[in-house]
Structures are given as C-alpha cells and as structure tokens.
Amino acid sequence: MSDETRHAPDRSGPEPAPIRFFGTTWVHHDGGYGLRRAGVAVGSLALAAAGAVVLRFAFQGLEIAEVGSFLNVLVVACFAVCSAVAFRRTWERLTRPAADRPADRSAQSLLLIGFIGSLLAYFCRALVEAPGEGVRRAEYEEERARYERRRTARTGNPAGKKAKKKRG
C-alpha cells in the first residue's frame, strides 16, 4: 500500500471504540473491512439457516410425539413472535444509541428464544455497514468535536493556535 492510502493513527484525542469482528477498521474502512462485512453477513445467514434446521428437527420431534395440533401451532407462533421481537431489539441496538432505547435485560429470554431474528438483523445490517457502525461513528465524531472544542478553547494552548493558523 502506498503512504497516501494509509491512515496514520491519530493518537491525540479520543480513541474509537472497537466493534466485534471489526476492531477499529470501521473508522477508515481499512484492514479488510469489506471482507469482514461480507464474512459477518454470510456467517450470520449461515447460522440462521442452521438454527432453522435445528428448530425443524425439534418440531419434527413434537410431531412424532403426537402432542396435538394446538401445541404445534403454539410452538411455531412462540418462535415466530420471539424471532420478530429479537429482530427488532437487535436492529435497534445496532442503529440507535443506548440512551434512546430501553434496557435489554428484561428481554434476554426473548432474544435467546428468537435467536434466528437476531442473526437475521445482523445479516441485514452487515449488508449496509458494520453492525453498530453508525452508532459508534456518531459517538466517535461527537467525542472528537468535543475534544477539538476543548482544545482550541483553551487560552495559551499552542496546539490550538497552530490549528487555527493552518485553517485560516
């Protein structure tokens, strides 16, 4: 890689928070970011398909046990509702800041039962960006802006004076 495309890490100011499977490659979309996104998308879709197969085997076990059509419908409805709730909660966690969404502690059992919905939300989000990148980027840019304001607002700060001279 040439020096022009490489981004030197800026050690002054706040550090970006790492994202699972991506580390801090989401900041400049370097270090195999595209391949990682594709891997996360394919992996989450494959895991959702494997989970659906496992659930199908469980449902066949209920059919073999002849528990009745009411219980079969109830189990399918339970997994469908839990998957829908898990999809929505996971999507919100990946797209909205923590302050704007309710705590996930109360819904942990729903997320566990509806794991297919969570995996599908991860898949859909990985098609657009690294899951959680938008939230992390907004937080990081806000921290950087706050840091720059603090640094340039100080009187007698030579670093802030140099930055102003270069811009103006």
How many Å apart are CA 115 and CA 55, to the nearest integer? 11
Residue 91 CB contacts under 8 Å (≥ 6 apart), including other chains? 121, 124, 125
The torsion angles phi and psi of 13, rounded to 5 degrees, stand at 95, -170
Residues 124 and 109: their CA atoms lie apart, in Å, by: 22
Which pLDDT tens digit goes with each residue over 120-140? 999 999 999 999 999 999 999
Question: pLDDT by residue (tens digit) across 38-81?
Answer: 999 999 999 999 999 999 999 999 889 988 889 999 999 999 99
Closest CA to 83 of 102, 53, 107: 107
pLDDT digits (tens, 9 = 90+) for 14-29: 889 899 889 989 999 9
Evaluate whether 82 touches 114 at the Cβ level (below 8 Å). yes
pLDDT score at 128: 92
